[in-house]
Structure 1
């Protein structure tokens, strides 16, 4: 029964009076024995804290129960500065500061907090007043100073670049607010190993990039290979790297030349995701790439989700199943093209067609009935907004899709009610959280 109440606590259709009853029950059980009952109450309170329809008094009751719950409420956007005391709940106060919704005086108060964990968390918050940043940059706990050096956009980074602790200087090097001249100086620091720290900087001198990208570790070379700041000469050097992961990283560079990108893709049978250079390609470049004799190149174009209709439709009838599979989830594809894709390529494209946001209810039913079937189809159908009752009932037969189908509001109410007794706790909990669960059943589930 406990897991069903947790499902109910997250159910968006739960009536307000039942929310009240659950909250009262959870707060009562939170102080009960045995410990397992307290654990269950904690879980129930966490689920209630995730609701978006809580009243102010309910929010305050949850925040007062336990500070971890208050922090969750802060990040969910339901807790306000007026709902808490920064002295008794400092972590929740820092969470509100992190979200930009804290009281203006809180950062100064918490920067002097005796708990260094509070100060450390505060140091990562954006938009802190300059005097608070200066105070944290001089903190006696070096971990707090490291966090300031890593996160702040204040000019204090130039001063921290001279800090005696190498951990602080290394953090400064990783911070994109740090002035270039300070970073270049740090790169010559014999105490620092900056192989990873500078990998996301896009404004370094090309000679420094070349030195850093010559690292013996392939992972480091790969990090620089995808850095937008490296020039064409270094891109081509790294494209000839003996390690696959480095060459693949070059393919992910936003400015890799298309001729080089084609070579890299055709020479590697990796399952490529969307690539930045393809995302930035002009209409003329897309047309040229879509006409490539290499299916791997056409597939890269097919992964874009903003193709012109004529190009999208042409790729949908591509003879290569991999290309058709890549374009199948593209919004706007006519249903007749989706069905012809299934007729032509069968099981190879079923799941991709099911993932199309415009797939109709009848099409989704058809996909669940296709033989031979594919298990991944049921997972896509079970979370599709257009899924029908019959399609979802078919998904219940698949173990991994069963919880998704149990949570879908189009599942018939009698099926949802039946799943409350499912032997899989996850399935039963998802059914209890289904907004289409009959109200009378919700009432019956309450203690």
Structure 2
């Protein structure tokens, strides 16, 4: 791989004549890089589409190729991409439904608005994975028919399809009203009874860990039930019976449902597995009583997941901030706080609560500036990237908290070039500063040259348009291929140098 040519292919300043030269010599990898450009002519796009299926598919999904550009017999995957986007031709579907490659038929089965005769053809396909893919994406009527398929893998796919009618999902999850499945992927391939080892030594084996069949297709039946529990169209009356099921995976799937009744939620709150209780804690459907119960749960990840519940009361959230490590993230409940609630959070005596509200990037100026002057470093660090902070506020934060906030200050979109240059000279140095500065649009040349001294920031600085052209040219021969590629992609690279590099 020629990293410099790959960098040139992504360079937004590459002249049109040099694009043509690169297209002429491009291998599939370089062609894929060129295909990502937004300034290509129709002729250039058509040429790149001939370089491989992946490139043609990429261009088709981006809407840069049309049905007139594609021959489905030559580029079946590009034709499938257009069909998937609703931009293909219906007559292609019959050709592709008879394609000798299973993967083509499988991809076709996932496409929308297939003609009825093509659906019938795919439903009768000799490869069960094609039929299963159809069951996963098809219309309610066909999903209902395929739910009765003798192969359990097809039923598993129908259970995951949210277009499958609720009464059919009820039958799939309970097994009542359906004839027993006759086959599954396990007994298709192995002599039963069989349990697949979790560390299977066979390199070509495709069965999932724990796959098992003793004639009852038990592992696939379990997956049918799990898919149905995860499917919002499954009637809750059929789902609630799994609250005391021996399988933790099934109880977890039930705990996450948006239509969970309070009584079942209360039962799951006593589940012996913390993971089930954690899934329940993050569920927006649980009520205030259950939220307050789970707030006292010290099980692994329960309180942290509860803090991410969009309906957690603010007083509970304040208690959670004291009880567990939430991290520097914008929580859904904080993001949805009213102006009055935001002011109350910003005035909290708990610095962790102030840190959480400081993660918002739409704070009123008065609250933003107050948090910027907070005596607690984690609060200041959290608000430091907030747009609109003045130079004076940013400098005061660095003066007050030093190494604890300087990288966050360097990430502020309003940070001046002078402040960014000073950040790279901060003593003691903060390595993360160099990456923040190297990404900043205001970074001046002296600051970028300083960033080149850091291994992680060096490729970022090499691609920055404010780096002097002479320094960019020197980096084209850097020992680190990523740095050389980044330099070649730099829009400030001199056109004469681009021409010299292009074959």
Q: Looking at CA atoms only, which structure, 1 or 2, has the larger radius of gyration?
A: 2
More moved, 244-253 vs 14-23: 244-253
What's the CA shift string for 1:304-363, capped at 9, x where partnerless? Answer: 111111111111111111111111111112221111111111111111111112222222
What's the CA shift string for 1:251-292, capped at 9, x where partnerless? Answer: 111111222222222101342421111111111111111111
2:339 corresponding residue in structure 1: 283
The correspondence of residues 135-150 of structure 1 with structure 2, limited to 5 A, is 136=122, 139-150=125-136
Contact 2:10 2:33 in 1 (8 A): yes
2:16 corresponding residue in structure 1: 16
Relative to structure 1, is the Cα distance of residues 326 and 148 closer, same or farther in structure 2, using a 3 angstrom cutoff? Answer: farther
Relative to structure 1, is the Cα distance of residues 82 and 267 closer, same or farther in structure 2, using a 3 angstrom cutoff? Answer: same
Cα separation, 2, equivalents of 1:297 and 1:431: 43
Contact 2:372 2:393 in 1 (8 A): yes
1:83 to 2:83 alignment: no
Cα separation, 2, equivalents of 1:166 and 1:272: 45
Relative to structure 1, is the Cα distance of residues 255 and 165 closer, same or farther in structure 2, using a 3 angstrom cutoff? Answer: farther
2:317 corresponding residue in structure 1: 261
Cα separation, 1, equivalents of 2:279 and 2:99: 38
| Structure 2: gaps of 5 or more residues | 176-217, 227-249
Cα separation, 2, equivalents of 1:105 and 1:209: 51
2:369 corresponding residue in structure 1: 313
**Aligned partner of residue 398 in structure 2, secondary structure:** helix
Contact 1:350 1:377 in 2 (8 A): yes
Relative to structure 1, is the Cα distance of residues 433 and 199 closer, same or farther in structure 2, using a 3 angstrom cutoff? Answer: farther
2:353 corresponding residue in structure 1: 297
1:117 to 2:103 alignment: yes
More moved, 339-348 vs 234-243: 234-243
Q: 1:227 aligns with which of 279, 283, 290?
A: 283
Query: CA offset at residue 208 of structure 1?
Result: 5.2
Query: CA offset at residue 124 of structure 1?
Result: 3.7
1:63 corresponding residue in structure 2: 49
**Aligned partner of residue 108 in structure 2, secondary structure:** helix
**Aligned partner of residue 413 in structure 2, secondary structure:** coil
Query: CA offset at residue 379 of structure 1?
Result: 0.5
What's the CA shift string for 1:53-83, capped at 9, x where partnerless? Answer: 2222221222112112212222344322221
Output the TM-score relative to the length of structure 1: 0.87
Cα separation, 1, equivalents of 2:151 and 2:167: 19
2:5 corresponding residue in structure 1: 5
Query: CA offset at residue 166 of structure 1?
Result: 4.1
Output the TM-score relative to the length of structure 2: 0.78
1:249 corresponding residue in structure 2: 305
Relative to structure 1, is the Cα distance of residues 336 and 152 closer, same or farther in structure 2, using a 3 angstrom cutoff? Answer: farther
Contact 1:107 1:128 in 2 (8 A): no
Relative to structure 1, is the Cα distance of residues 272 and 317 closer, same or farther in structure 2, using a 3 angstrom cutoff? Answer: same
Query: CA offset at residue 432 of structure 1?
Result: 0.8
Query: CA offset at residue 123 of structure 1?
Result: 3.6
Please, what is the CA RMSD of the aligned residues? 2.7
Query: CA offset at residue 223 of structure 1?
Result: 3.0
What's the CA shift string for 1:185-236, capped at 9, x where partnerless? Answer: 5444593352265565423444555666766554444333322233334434
2:469 corresponding residue in structure 1: 413
1:33 corresponding residue in structure 2: none
Cα separation, 1, equivalents of 2:299 and 2:325: 14
Contact 1:174 1:197 in 2 (8 A): no
Contact 2:90 2:115 in 1 (8 A): no
